[in-house]
C-alpha cells in the first residue's frame, strides 16, 4: 500500500470518527437532559448514576483513537495538538464529577468543560475534510 494511500485512509478514518464523536456528544447531551429532567434527578434513590455517565464510557475510546489516527495520518501540527487537547479535555470531563463532594465549585466546571469539548470536537470534525483533500488520490493498482 502506498504511503499516500495509508495517509488518506487514516485521514478518512479520522474524518468519520471525528463526526461520530460529535454525534455521540449530541446524544450525550440529550441523555443529560433525560437525567436532569427525570423525577429522581441525576442520581436515582438507589444510588445508580444517570444513563449519560454510562454512555460517556461507551464512546470515550474515540478520543484516544482520534489521537492515534492524527499521528498515523500525519495531520498538521495544530490539528494534532487540538486532537490531543480534546483527549485531555475529555479526561478532565470524566474526572470533574468525582470532585462533587470535596469541591462542588470545581465539579460545576463539568458543564462548562462540556462546552470546550463540543467546540474542539466540532472544530476538528469541520477541518477533517480539508485534511483528506490535501492527500492526492492514488491509482488502484
Partner 1 sequence: MQLVRYLYAAVAVGFLAGVAYQVFLAGMAVFGAGQWANHVDFGYLVAAVPLLLVILAWPARAGRSTLILSVVTLLVAQVQTFLPAFREDLPVVAALHPVNAMLVFGCAVLVARRGIALARQPLPAAPTAPDPVRA
Grid cell for residue 18? 471525528
Near partner 1 by CB under 8 A: residue from 16, 23, 29, 134: 29
Which residue in 54, 61, 49, 69 sits closest to 87, CA to CA?
Answer: 61
Near partner 1 by CB under 8 A: residue from 13, 18, 32, 75: 32
- Whether residue 128 contacts residue 75, with contact meaning beta carbons closer than 8 Å, is answered with no
Q: How far is the CB of 62 from partner 1 (least distance, A)?
A: 18
By CB under 8 A, tell whether 23 contacts partner 1: no
- Residue 128 DSSP SS3: helix
By CB under 8 A, tell whether 95 contacts partner 1: no
User: Across the strands, what pairs with 49?
Assistant: 43
By CB under 8 A, tell whether 45 contacts partner 1: no
- Whether residue 109 contacts residue 96, with contact meaning beta carbons closer than 8 Å, is answered with yes
Contacts with partner 1 by CB under 8 A lie at 26, 29-34, 36-38, 42, 97, 100, 104-105, 107-112, 114-115, 118-119, 122
Amino acid at each position: 500500500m502506498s504511503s499516500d494511500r495509508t495517509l488518506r485512509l487514516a485521514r478518512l478514518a479520522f474524518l468519520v470518527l471525528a463526526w461520530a464523536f460529535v454525534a455521540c456528544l449530541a446524544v450525550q447531551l440529550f441523555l443529560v437532559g433525560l437525567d436532569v429532567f427525570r423525577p429522581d434527578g441525576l442520581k436515582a434513590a438507589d444510588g445508580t448514576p444517570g444513563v449519560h455517565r454510562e454512555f460517556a464510557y461507551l464512546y470515550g475510546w474515540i478520543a484516544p483513537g482520534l489521537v492515534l489516527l492524527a499521528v498515523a495520518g500525519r495531520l498538521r501540527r495544530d490539528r494534532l495538538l487540538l486532537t490531543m487537547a480534546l483527549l485531555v479535555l475529555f479526561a478532565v470531563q470524566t474526572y470533574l464529577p468525582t470532585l462533587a463532594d470535596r469541591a462542588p465549585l470545581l465539579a460545576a466546571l463539568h458543564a462548562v468543560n462540556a462546552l470546550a469539548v463540543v467546540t474542539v470536537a466540532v472544530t476538528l470534525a469541520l477541518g477533517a475534510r480539508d485534511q483528506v483533500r490535501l492527500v492526492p488520490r492514488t491509482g488502484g493498482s
